[in-house]
């Protein structure tokens, strides 16, 4: 009885491990580099989205908040599955936890997107900011400049 | 602030229609050059040879260093101060010529009057756009009508702010104005661009006013307070009440539901703000320009929104017969609430499209004249109006009469088929009597402004510039305000011409 149980448990664990290694080895990282931060005021809020649907819905895969420092700031999203991603971020300069807008709905704090995708007479388009994480990547590096 | 709410705010960066609601700007283009590309630069150059009056719209290459003007007649010794003007000066870079008169980068003209002599200098306003394009020696951004191949992306209207329409004195600074974005702060001593003004700074509004449009026609109360508005493409209007030094006192959004996409001027009385919404619609498709798309809607009433100055709330609304105006002279209110105002009124929007034809050297005139029209808005909701049989643009009243009952209206006029204005008029609005001076067909006449040293209406001077076509020189003219038909009592000549500009002001020393 005991032997069978152990055998089953080992089998189950092995099967699980095999399954994991076959489909979901999360060995990839995304290193996101934000350039041109203009002060050490406040924080940078950085969101990672997996796929267009989640981006459009505002459903983040992961969020990171770091203290801002002038110049280049780098965050890393660890153990990321393969797939298509987008990053957007803002510089919460007045440290009130929100992205400020003017009365007509335009951001008045710094913000940006992966691939340095630019708004152009309208919001930056998902298709310009998306990038892939594949099995062959260990660390995917993506860069952006803050739009102030 | 909860994490959830933070993330929700981040979401707005994607879903807010960033800039789709800013009316003034061009469309993002994929990098393809306009297939219907017409070589405006070549056309204009050719047309200039046959039509020398087009000199007023020629490109200006560089700044004008200080020049002493040559006087004819004597300057009034009490007329001491600075006369500033603003207008588009950079119409061309490389092979590209802008397709609309309103697109060129702003250039400030400064006349210094010291009671004996007049000195001039002119300087391009070094906005962020200008600096980048000057460095690259080409246009990098598409204009409202002109598409540039591989143009730089625009995330805020201030990226393409040309600061080209008007210039006012605010505290110790000059503000150069462009209606789709922020004022540009200019150092009056060296005419250097300093910054784009963040209107809420130092007030309870914080950063919420940053990047908002601030029209090129603020109205200054006789007590010095500054009133203004800004139009959003959604049809909402932001109203501003600033102190004389430019500090924000009160700001409100009004849902004007205005779909005309262009709103250039407005008025104040002692008690109210008037938003006069012309009969315009925009038929904008992906490939068409901003100005190009604006049409006159002949069945659409012109609407007047009357707003309380005290709290910036909408008081009432009037409907007028269809019409269009760029400019209004003045408004005033009787004790019983009856409102009077005047406009240089057009029955169509042909004048706007003429500003595009001019850029390719097309001098054809087609029913493009406006006339002085006086409106009355009665308490019972009825309206009445009276149009003078004249040709009228660039109306002005004395500074101390803004928002109060004025007896005089100063404006430019022209012969019926003139390319630009060629006469100045002092209109007695009560009697309809005109005191007029015609410069004649050799001159292109620019906005003239009244100066009243003793704050007495009708007494003082009228000052303005005119471009002499045959000699390609601009002159500054000073008239006796009570006798325009006698001609300028003093005329000061530059050895070169200035680009035809839009608006300016006299700042007394």
Question: Which range of residues forms the domain containing residue B472?
Answer: 3-29+51-508
Q: What is the pLDDT of residue B10?
A: 43
Inside any domain, residue B389: yes
Q: How far is CA B143 from CA B39, B56, B90, B106, B152, in A?
A: 16, 20, 12, 13, 11
pTM, 2 dp: 0.91
Which neighbouring-strand residues pair with B453? none
Q: What is the pLDDT of residue B37?
A: 65
pLDDT digits 0-9 by tens, A16-29: 555 454 455 567 99
When pLDDT is cut at 50, 70 and 90, the band that residue A5 belongs to is: low
Q: How many independent structural domains does chain B possess?
A: 1
Strand-pair category, A28-37 with A139-145: parallel
Query: Could you tell me the residue ranges of all domains in chain A?
Result: 26-145
Chain A residue with CA closest to B206: the answer is A102
Whether the CB-CB separation of B281 and B259 falls below 8 Å is answered with yes
pLDDT digits 0-9 by tens, A120-132: 988 899 999 999 9
Inside any domain, residue B34: no
DSSP summary character for residue A107: B
Whether the CB-CB separation of B390 and B373 falls below 8 Å is answered with no
The gap from C-alpha B480 to its chain's centroid, in whole angstroms, comes to 25
pLDDT digits 0-9 by tens, B415-462: 877 899 999 999 999 999 999 999 999 999 999 999 999 999 999 999
* Residue A19, H or E segment: helix A2-23
Inside any domain, residue B43: no
The CATH number assigned to the domain with range A26-145 reads 2.60.40
Let me know the angle formed at the C-alpha of B26 by B21 and B156, rounded to the nearest 5 degrees.
Answer: 55
Q: How far is CA A87 from CA A82, A139, A143, B5, B14, in A?
A: 15, 15, 10, 18, 11
Q: What is the residue-averaged pLDDT of chain B?
A: 92
Cα(first)–Cα(last) distance of chain A, in Å?
68
A32 close contact with B: CB closer than 8 A? no
Nearest to A103 among B18, B22, B208 (CB): B208
CA distance B215 to B503: 12
Inside any domain, residue B44: no
Inter-chain residue contact A121 with B27, CB threshold 8 Å: yes
Nearest to A104 among B6, B21, B206 (CB): B21
Min Cα distance B18 → chain A (Å) is 5
Inside any domain, residue B231: yes
Q: Which residues of A touch B10 (CB under 8 A)?
A: 45, 47, 58, 88, 90, 99
Min Cα distance A87 → chain B (Å) is 11
Whether the CB-CB separation of B158 and B178 falls below 8 Å is answered with no
């Amino acid at each position: 009885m005991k032997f069978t149980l152990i055998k089953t448990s080992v089998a189950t664990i092995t099967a699980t491990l095999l399954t994991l290694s076959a489909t979901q080895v999360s060995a990839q990282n995304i290193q996101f580099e934000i350039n041109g931060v203009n002060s050490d005021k406040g924080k940078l809020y950085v969101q990672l989205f997996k796929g267009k649907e989640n981006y459009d819905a505002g459903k983040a895969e992961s969020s990171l908040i770091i203290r801002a420092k002038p110049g280049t700031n780098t965050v890393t999203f660890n153990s990321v599955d393969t797939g298509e991603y987008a990053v957007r971020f803002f510089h919460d300069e007045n440290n009130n936890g929100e992205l400020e807008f003017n009365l007509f709905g335009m951001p008045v704090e710094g913000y940006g997107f992966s691939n340095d995708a630019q708004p152009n007479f309208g919001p930056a388009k998902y298709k310009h900011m998306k990038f892939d994480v594949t099995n062959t990547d260990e660390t995917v590096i993506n860069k952006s400049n803050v739009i102030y | 602030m909860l994490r959830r709410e933070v993330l929700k705010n981040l979401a707005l960066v994607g879903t807010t229609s960033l800039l789709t609601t800013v009316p003034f700007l061009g469309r993002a283009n994929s990098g393809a050059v306009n297939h219907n590309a017409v070589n405006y630069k070549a056309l204009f150059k050719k047309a200039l040879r046959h039509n020398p009056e087009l000199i007023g719209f020629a490109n200006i290459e560089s700044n004008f260093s200080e020049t002493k003007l040559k006087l004819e007649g004597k300057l009034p010794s009490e007329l001491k101060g600075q006369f500033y003007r603003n207008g588009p000066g950079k119409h061309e870079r490389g092979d590209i010529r802008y397709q609309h008169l309103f697109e060129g980068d702003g250039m400030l003209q400064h006349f210094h009057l010291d009671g004996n002599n007049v000195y001039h200098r002119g300087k391009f306003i070094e906005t962020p756009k200008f600096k980048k394009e000057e460095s690259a020696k080409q246009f990098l951004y598409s204009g409202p009508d002109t598409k540039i191949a591989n143009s730089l992306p625009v995330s805020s209207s201030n990226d393409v702010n040309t600061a080209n329409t008007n210039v006012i004195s605010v505290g110790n600074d000059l503000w150069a104005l462009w209606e789709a974005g922020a004022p540009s702060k200019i150092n009056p001593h060296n005419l250097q661009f300093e910054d784009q003004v963040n209107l809420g700074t130092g007030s309870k509004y914080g950063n919420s006013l940053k990047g908002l449009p601030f029209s090129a026609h603020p109205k200054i109360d006789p007590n010095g307070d500054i009133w203004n508005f800004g139009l959003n493409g959604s049809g909402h209007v932001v109203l501003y009440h600033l102190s004389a030094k430019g500090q924000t006192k009160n700001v409100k959004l009004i849902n004007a539901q205005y779909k005309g996409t262009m709103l250039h001027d407005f008025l104040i009385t002692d008690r109210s703000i008037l938003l006069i919404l012309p009969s315009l619609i925009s038929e904008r498709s992906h490939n068409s320009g901003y100005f190009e798309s604006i049409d006159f809607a002949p069945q659409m009433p012109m609407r007047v929104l009357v707003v309380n100055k005290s709290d910036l709330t909408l008081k009432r609304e009037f409907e007028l017969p269809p019409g269009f105006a760029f400019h209004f002279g003045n408004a005033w209110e009787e004790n019983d609430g009856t409102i009077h105002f005047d406009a240089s009124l057009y029955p169509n929007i042909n004048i706007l499209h003429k500003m595009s034809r001019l850029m390719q050297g097309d001098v054809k005139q087609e029913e493009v004249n406006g006339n002085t029209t006086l409106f009355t808005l009665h308490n019972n909701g009825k309206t009445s109006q009276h149009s003078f049989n004249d040709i009228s643009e660039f109306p002005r009243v004395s500074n101390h009469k803004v928002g109060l009952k004025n007896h005089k209206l100063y404006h430019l006029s022209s012969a019926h088929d003139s390319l630009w204005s060629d006469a100045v008029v002092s209109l007695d609005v009560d009697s309809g009597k005109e005191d007029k001076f015609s410069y004649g067909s050799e001159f292109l006449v620019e906005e003239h402004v009244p100066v009243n040293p003793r704050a007495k209406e009708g007494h003082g001077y009228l000052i303005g510039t005119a471009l002499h076509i045959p000699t390609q020189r601009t002159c500054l003219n000073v008239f006796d305000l009570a006798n325009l038909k006698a001609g300028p009592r003093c005329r000061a000549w530059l050895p070169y011409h200035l680009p035809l500009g839009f608006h300016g002001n006299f700042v007394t020393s």
